[in-house]
Amino acid sequence: MKQINSYIDSVFYSQDDILEEVLISIKENGMRSISVSPSTGKLLTLLVSMSGAKNVP
């Protein structure tokens, strides 16, 4: 599964400076890392877009 995620990340993920700042801030403030991988984020975004959802609880 890691190989699949790595491939998807390499195709769809581009550097996001704001996201990197957030991730650094999370570490600096001793917060737990609960972020999803870029590939999982893309999948979730795709599913929400396809479903036409207005709110995601």
- Residue range 27-47, pLDDT digits in tens: 999 998 777 877 777 788 888
- Enter the tokens of residue 41: 């984020």
pTM of this prediction? Answer: 0.49
Query: Which has the closest alpha carbon to 34: 48, 21, 42, 23?
Result: 23
- Of the pLDDT bands very low, low, confident and very high (cuts 50, 70, 90), residue 7 is confident
- For residue 50, give the 3-state DSSP assignment: helix
- Of the pLDDT bands very low, low, confident and very high (cuts 50, 70, 90), residue 25 is very high
Q: CA–CA separation, 48 vs 54, rounded Å? A: 8
Torsion angle defined by CA atoms of residues 14, 37, 27 and 29, in that order, rounded to the nearest 10 degrees: 100
